[in-house]
């Protein structure tokens, strides 16, 4: 594990990309294939099957450390990471072991089916043999989530350098449904036929936010505009008579959206679409709110009733592969023309629709489209350069998202709760209320949006102004008013206020506003009426 | 018969009624006994000060003109009905625990302390007592310090690598105590040692008192990477990554603090490298010190007070959290303070 641990430490310690890429490249040049394969798997969030529950791990950790379990549990939120907490409380020792990372993973796999006693013996033996970073990494192998400061981008860059191949090709190879248990370094990285895996998606192209309007983009005629849908970005693959649906986070969602299974009836093999998954009722002229879709995301299998209440469609806006050919390098207007052709014969009940383009002559037209975005249940507009290729990742210049300004409301802070990890000593989670006559009605929580200095300031205030404690939650004196920004508002019978907000966050601490000037429940209901 | 407590915890600070004095008060009082010169212990505006001879020069440097008396470690002084003496706390040069005895009842206010010998401060001396007031800045079992030689090796290795890569190593540390301790750990043969003004000023005060520090160069406006290739620069944390540090050209920054034990903090705050070293006791150090005092009554302040006193209570001590309106040197507060870690 030494080799991997030293790579991990170098990457973990540095904030400089060159240092990280150099360390990775050196590692890919030196390590065994199986260790390299596991390294890219671990750094991209894949992990060995969990052999030990975290409950057991905590108990054993506390036991070996000679501390009561409650004390361990107090330390965990302060440290913020289970694997690290255990590594820190265990008695220190030097590493006396030569197994590589993949060998450790194999050993871990061997105890997967063993009973608790055998697992415990294995874990305690590992703790006795490993010290420092290596012990931490061992714990991470069990608890999962070995994401270090290595983006997919850095990893592909290092792989490209080590293998002398193209970065975009590497990015493509790393995508998809692979796991070290069923592939090899050679098959994944070096083999000639990279598309052997029919499920493999293309890296998504992500847009930058347009802050000050489109005027600086020069000639409007060079650009195409679409609605920016408030759904889930998805890639639909039809190959070899099967279909696959991928999320932007590289999660395979095929089973969550059974509606799309019929895609194979309408699209030829060798077709890959990029688009937005939306809940769209039969005959409706706009999609349902994101809330409806949320119910679908959470389910691995979908009950019939939900399927009927919240039917999902893919609104396609780009074509990446056509007739088995990767066409990402073709200009957007050509891909769009092919996309329109591919969608031309779709029957009205097909689960795929062509996402419309917005017809505009000058930027003024676009401003009016944007003003109407909320009516179309869209978050704003997308602008794409007509002759741009489909790139990988977030690249500036060709794709822009021009979002609506968020909705805002001034609310009173009434409860506070401390954060976790590095913020365990700060109050960062707040509940906000609107006024209703003499009462305050809680309607949302918000966690983010303040600076560290503001969080410290409000923390000091909360400590001095606590009225009551309920476990970790403190009720505070209603005094401070915050401007809360959010992207959408929905009726919600589960909430006392009757509404649920989408992406609420603290936009500003309104020191200038007294309590009496906070918004009311009536104001909130009015927003629900207009935007809900 | 029941004794009145020798020390009580008041809004102004720790108070001794028998001697009518305060220890490390945070509001103006007539008579203040000071454990050490850090800003959260030695404040301005007191009528009279009493501190160790070694602590006074730094206090004068920080607080200016003060009416202060010095006392030697171990010297006994009667104040009213109390017998008072100062004993090494091992925290920073001149730091002391204050022992107060009234009618056979012994209390010790330990201020900030660490239990290992840092080679610079007079080493911590456990004092048998009935009531012990302890800090708990690092009072969790996740904090465990490595031997000083190990950290010294890590720092010197880092410096050497920086120097051979043509980079300046910039090491952030608080200006009183930590910085001088780090200086004494550096291997001067690697290259020149530069100090930021704030630190060099404190160095001068301590050198005057006879503390042995390696030769350092003031990092004034003329000092750059060109004039001092291969240098290490010791600077307050606020100077890391500032405009001031730019003149040292290609550089790596490191930060030395006990908080660096946590990966999250290290990644957020350390710059390029975090070194785990503290002038406070770690978990084992705190427990060792408490055991050595043989005290049954423990008052816990500064830090993870609730957790630490619960642990003590479960293990046979009679521990309580000292109520204070001031937050101790918490992880977040340490950002702005000049004395944590
Ligand atoms: Zn101190
Ligand atoms: Zn202190």
pLDDT for B249-293, tens place per residue? 999 999 999 999 998 888 777 678 899 999 999 999 999 999 999
CB contact under 8 A, B307 and A74: yes
CB contact under 8 A, B141 and A89: yes
Cα B291-B296-B302 angle, rounded to 5 deg: 75
Long-range Cβ contacts of B311-316 (<8 Å, 24+ apart): B311/A68, B311/A71, B314/A68
CB contact under 8 A, A74 and B268: no
| Domains in chain A: ranges and CATH | 2-143 (1.10.3260.10), 205-403 (3.30.470.30), 407-531 (2.40.50.140)
Is the per-residue pLDDT at B196 higher than 60? yes
Is ipTM > 0.85 here? yes
Mean predicted confidence (pLDDT) in A451-460: 88
Chain A residue with Cα closest to B254: A13
pLDDT for A34-88, tens place per residue? 999 999 999 888 888 888 999 999 999 999 999 999 999 999 988 989 999 999 9
**pTM for this one?**
0.71
Using the mean position of ligand 2's atoms as its centre, give its distance from the Cα of residue B339 in Å.
7
What is the average pLDDT value for chain A, to the nearest integer? 89
Mean predicted confidence (pLDDT) in A217-243: 92
Chain A residues touching residue B262 (CB < 8 angstroms)? 78-80, 84, 88, 422
Closest CA to B134 of B319, B340, B9, B331: B319
pLDDT of residue A193: 60
Residue window 13-42, chain A: list those with CB within 8 Å of chain B: 13-16
B157 in helix, strand or coil? helix
Is the per-residue pLDDT at B169 higher than 80? yes
How many helices (H) and strands (E) chain A has is answered by 19, 22
Closest CA to B151 of B175, B121, B118: B118
The tokens for A99 are 């197994």
Is the per-residue pLDDT at B334 higher than 70? no
CB contact under 8 A, B271 and A78: no
Is the per-residue pLDDT at B238 higher than 90? no
Maximum mean pLDDT: which of A506-515, B199-208, B220-229:
B199-208
Ligand in closest contact with the CA of B176: 1
CB contact under 8 A, B140 and A74: yes
CB contact under 8 A, A12 and B267: yes
Burial of A514 (0-12, 13-18, 19+ CB in 10 A): exposed
CB contact under 8 A, B142 and A78: yes
pLDDT of residue A270: 92
CB contact under 8 A, B142 and A92: no
Among partner residues A71, A79, A456, which is closest to B307 by beta-carbon distance? A71
Chain B residue with Cα closest to A421: B264
Contact present, A293 and A311 (Cβ < 8 Å): no
The DSSP line for A97-135 is ----HHHHHHHHHHTTTS-HHHHHHHHHHHHHH--HHHH
Maximum mean pLDDT: which of A173-182, A396-405, A416-425:
A396-405
Task: Give the pLDDT band of residue A195 (cuts 50, 70, 90).
Answer: low
What is the percentage of chain B residues whose pLDDT exceeds 70? 93
Is the per-residue pLDDT at B204 higher than 90? yes
B295 in helix, strand or coil? coil
Among partner residues A65, A92, A422, which is closest to B264 by beta-carbon distance? A422
Is the per-residue pLDDT at B82 higher than 90? yes
What is the average pLDDT value for chain B, to the nearest integer? 91
pLDDT for B91-105, tens place per residue? 999 999 999 999 999
Cα B10-B15-B20 angle, rounded to 5 deg: 130
Using the mean position of ligand 2's atoms as its centre, give its distance from the Cα of residue B257 in Å.
14
Chain A residue with Cα closest to B312: A71
Residue window 430-459, chain A: list those with CB within 8 Å of chain B: 452, 456, 459
Residue window 153-212, chain A: list those with CB within 8 Å of chain B: none
Q: To the nearest whole angstrom, how far is the Cα of A89 from the nearest Cα of chain B?
A: 5
pLDDT of residue B338: 34
Mean predicted confidence (pLDDT) in A194-210: 80
pLDDT for B33-57, tens place per residue? 999 999 889 999 999 999 999 999 9
Interface residues on B facing A, Cβ-Cβ cutoff 8 A: 140-144, 146, 261-268, 270-274, 304, 307, 310-311, 314, 327, 330-333, 335
Chain A residue with Cα closest to B141: A89
Chain A residue with Cα closest to B261: A88
pLDDT of residue B1: 44
Contact of A64 with chain B, judged by CB distance below 8 Å, is answered with no
Cα A434-A440-A442 angle, rounded to 5 deg: 65
Relative to beta strand B168-172, strand B105-109 is unpaired
CB contact under 8 A, B332 and A13: no
pLDDT of residue A528: 87
Class for the domain spanning B8-142+280-321: alpha beta
CB contact under 8 A, A79 and B262: yes
pLDDT of residue A423: 65
User: Which of A61-70, A192-201, A254-263, A290-299 is predicted with the least confidence, judged by mean pLDDT?
Assistant: A192-201
pLDDT for A284-325, tens place per residue? 888 988 778 877 877 777 888 888 889 999 999 999 999 999
pLDDT of residue A191: 78
CB contact under 8 A, A92 and B144: yes
Type and span of the H or E element at A482: strand A481-486
Chain A residues touching residue B267 (CB < 8 angstroms)? 12, 149
Residues of A with active-site annotation:
228
Task: Give the pLDDT band of residue B246 (cuts 50, 70, 90).
Answer: confident
CB contact under 8 A, B264 and A426: no
Where does chain B have alpha helices with state H?
56-63, 148-164, 178-185, 197-208, 263-269, 283-293, 305-314
Among partner residues A88, A424, A456, which is closest to B142 by beta-carbon distance? A88
Question: Per CATH, the architecture of B148-275 is what?
Answer: 3-Layer(aba) Sandwich (3.40)
pLDDT of residue B328: 42
Mean predicted confidence (pLDDT) in A13-34: 90
Among partner residues A67, A84, A92, which is closest to B263 by beta-carbon distance? A84
Q: Domain ranges in chain B?
A: 8-142+280-321, 148-275
Using the mean position of ligand 1's atoms as its centre, give its distance from the Cα of residue B291 in Å.
22
Q: To the nearest whole angstrom, how far is the Cα of B142 from the nearest Cα of chain A?
A: 5
pLDDT for A347-391, tens place per residue? 888 999 999 999 999 999 999 998 888 888 888 999 999 999 999
Rounded distance between C-alpha atoms, residue A443 and residue A108, angstroms:
46
Task: Give the pLDDT band of residue B303 (cuts 50, 70, 90).
Answer: confident
Contact of A79 with chain B, judged by CB distance below 8 Å, is answered with yes
Task: Give the pLDDT band of residue A422 (cuts 50, 70, 90).
Answer: low
Rounded distance between C-alpha atoms, residue B140 and residue B305, angstroms:
10
Chain B residues touching residue A75 (CB < 8 angstroms)? 140-142
Rounded distance between C-alpha atoms, residue A497 and residue A445, angstroms:
12
Task: Give the pLDDT band of residue A421 (cuts 50, 70, 90).
Answer: low
Q: To the nearest whole angstrom, how far is the Cα of A421 from the nearest Cα of chain B?
A: 7
Contact of A472 with chain B, judged by CB distance below 8 Å, is answered with no
Ligand in closest contact with the CA of B134: 2
Among partner residues A68, A81, A463, which is closest to B263 by beta-carbon distance? A81
Best A22, A76, A87, A89 member to test B by mutation, with max B CBs in 10 Å, is A89
Is the per-residue pLDDT at B331 higher than 60? no
Give CA torsion, residues A165, A167, A170, A175, to 10 deg.
-170
Is the per-residue pLDDT at A514 higher than 90? no
Location of structure tokens 């660490």: B114
Ligand in closest contact with the CA of B279: 1
User: Which of A198-202, A308-312, A507-511, B147-151 is predicted with the least confidence, judged by mean pLDDT?
Assistant: A198-202
pLDDT for B4-44, tens place per residue? 899 999 989 999 999 999 999 989 999 999 999 998 899 99
CB contact under 8 A, A460 and B327: yes
* Intra-chain end-to-end CA distance of chain B, in Å: 42
pLDDT of residue A530: 77
Is the per-residue pLDDT at B335 higher than 50? no
pLDDT for A97-110, tens place per residue? 899 999 999 999 88
Chain A residues touching residue B141 (CB < 8 angstroms)? 65, 67, 71-72, 75, 88-89
What is the percentage of chain A residues whose pLDDT exceeds 90? 48
Task: Give the pLDDT band of residue B324 (cuts 50, 70, 90).
Answer: low
Among partner residues B264, B271, B311, which is closest to A80 by beta-carbon distance? B264
Contact present, A532 and A407 (Cβ < 8 Å): no
Chain B residue with Cα closest to A80: B264
pLDDT of residue A274: 97
DSSP annotation of A520: B
CB contact under 8 A, A71 and B262: no
Contact present, A314 and A277 (Cβ < 8 Å): yes
Best B139, B140, B145, B314 member to test A by mutation, with max A CBs in 10 Å, is B140
pLDDT of residue A301: 79
């Amino acid at each position: 594990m030494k080799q991997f641990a030293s790579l991990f430490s170098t990457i973990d310690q540095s904030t400089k990309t060159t240092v990280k890429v150099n360390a990775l490249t050196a590692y890919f040049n030196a390590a065994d294939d199986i260790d390299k394969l596991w390294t890219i798997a671990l750094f991209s969030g894949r992990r060995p099957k969990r052999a030990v529950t975290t409950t057991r791990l905590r108990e054993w950790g506390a036991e070996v450390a000679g501390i009561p379990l409650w004390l361990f549990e107090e330390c965990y939120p302060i440290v913020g990471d289970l694997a690290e907490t255990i590594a820190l409380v265990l008695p220190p020792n030097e590493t006396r072991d030569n197994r590589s990372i993949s060998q450790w993973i194999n050993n871990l796999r061997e105890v997967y089916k063993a009973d608790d006693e055998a697992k415990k013996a294995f874990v305690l033996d590992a703790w006795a043999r490993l010290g420092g970073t290596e012990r931490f990494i061992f714990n991470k192998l069990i608890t999962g989530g070995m994401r270090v400061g290595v983006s997919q981008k850095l990893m592909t860059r290092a792989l490209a350098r080590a293998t002398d191949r193209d970065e975009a090709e590497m990015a493509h190879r790393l995508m998809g449904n692979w796991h070290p248990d069923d592939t090899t370094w050679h098959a994944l990285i070096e083999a000639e036929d990279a598309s052997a895996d029919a499920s493999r998606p293309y890296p998504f192209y992500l847009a930058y936010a347009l802050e000050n309007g489109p005027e600086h983009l020069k000639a409007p005629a060079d650009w195409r505009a679409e609605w920016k849908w408030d759904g889930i970005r998805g890639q639909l693959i039809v190959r070899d008579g099967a279909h696959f649906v991928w999320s932007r986070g590289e999660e395979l969602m095929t089973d969550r959206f059974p509606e799309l299974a019929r895609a194979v009836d309408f699209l030829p093999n060798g077709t890959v679409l990029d688009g937005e998954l939306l809940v769209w009722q039969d005959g409706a002229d706009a999609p349902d709110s994101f809330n409806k879709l949320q119910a679908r995301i959470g389910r691995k299998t979908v009950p019939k009733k939900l399927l009927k209440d919240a039917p999902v469609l893919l609104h396609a806006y780009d074509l990446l592969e056509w007739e088995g050919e990767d066409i990402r390098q073709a200009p957007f207007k050509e891909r769009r023309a092919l996309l329109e052709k591919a969608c031309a014969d779709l029957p009205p009940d097909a689960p795929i629709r062509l996402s419309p383009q917005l017809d505009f002559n000058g930027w003024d037209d676009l401003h009016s489209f944007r003003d109407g975005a909320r009516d179309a249940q869209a978050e704003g507009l997308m602008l794409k350069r007509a002759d741009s290729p489909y790139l990988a990742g977030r690249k500036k210049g060709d794709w822009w998202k021009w979002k609506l300004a968020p909705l805002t409301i001034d609310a009173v802070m009434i409860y506070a709760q401390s954060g976790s990890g590095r913020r365990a000593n700060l109050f960062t989670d707040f509940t906000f209320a609107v006024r209703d006559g003499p009462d305050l009605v809680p309607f949302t929580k918000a966690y983010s949006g303040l600076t560290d200095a503001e969080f410290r300031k409000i923390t000091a205030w909360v400590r001095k102004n606590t009225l009551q404690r309920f476990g970790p939650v403190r009720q505070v004196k209603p005094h401070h008013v915050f401007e809360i920004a959010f992207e959408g508002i929905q009726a919600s019978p589960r909430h006392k206020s009757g509404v649920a907000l989408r992406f609420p966050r603290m936009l500003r601490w309104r020191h200038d506003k007294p309590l009496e000037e906070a918004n009311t429940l009536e104001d909130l209901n009015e927003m629900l009426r207009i935007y809900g | 018969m029941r004794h009145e407590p020798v020390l009580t915890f008041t809004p102004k600070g720790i108070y001794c009624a028998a001697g009518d004095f305060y220890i490390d008060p945070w509001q103006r009082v007539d008579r203040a006994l000071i454990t050490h010169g850090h800003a959260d212990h030695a404040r301005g505006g007191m009528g009279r000060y009493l501190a160790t001879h070694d602590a006074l020069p730094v206090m004068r440097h920080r607080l200016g003109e003060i009416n202060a008396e010095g006392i030697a470690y171990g010297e006994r002084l009667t104040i009213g009905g109390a017998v008072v003496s100062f004993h090494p706390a091992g925290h920073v040069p001149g730091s002391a625990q204050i022992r107060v005895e009234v009618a056979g009842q012994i209390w010790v206010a330990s201020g900030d302390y660490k239990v290992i010998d840092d080679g610079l401060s007079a080493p911590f001396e456990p004092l048998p007592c009935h009531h012990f007031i302890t800090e708990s800045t690092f009072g969790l079992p996740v904090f465990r310090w490595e031997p000083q030689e190990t950290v010294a090796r890590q720092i010197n290795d880092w410096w050497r690598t920086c120097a051979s890569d043509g980079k300046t190593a910039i090491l952030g540390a608080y200006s009183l105590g930590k910085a001088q301790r780090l200086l004494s750990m550096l291997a001067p043969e690697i290259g020149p040692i530069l100090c930021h003004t704030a630190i060099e000023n404190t160095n001068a005060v301590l050198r005057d008192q006879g503390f042995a520090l390696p030769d350092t160069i003031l990092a004034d406006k003329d000092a750059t990477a060109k004039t001092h290739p291969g240098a290490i620069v010791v600077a307050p944390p606020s100077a890391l990554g500032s405009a001031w540090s730019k003149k040292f050209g290609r550089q790596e920054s490191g930060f030395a603090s006990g908080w660096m034990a946590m990966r999250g903090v290290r990644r957020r705050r350390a710059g390029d490298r975090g070194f785990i070293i503290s002038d406070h006791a770690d978990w084992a150090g705190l427990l060792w010190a408490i055991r050595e005092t043989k005290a049954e009554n423990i008052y816990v302040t500064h830090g993870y007070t609730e957790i630490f006193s619960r642990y003590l209570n479960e293990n046979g001590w009679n521990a309580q959290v000292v109520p204070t309106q001031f937050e101790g040197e918490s992880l977040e507060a340490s950002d702005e303070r000049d004395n944590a870690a």
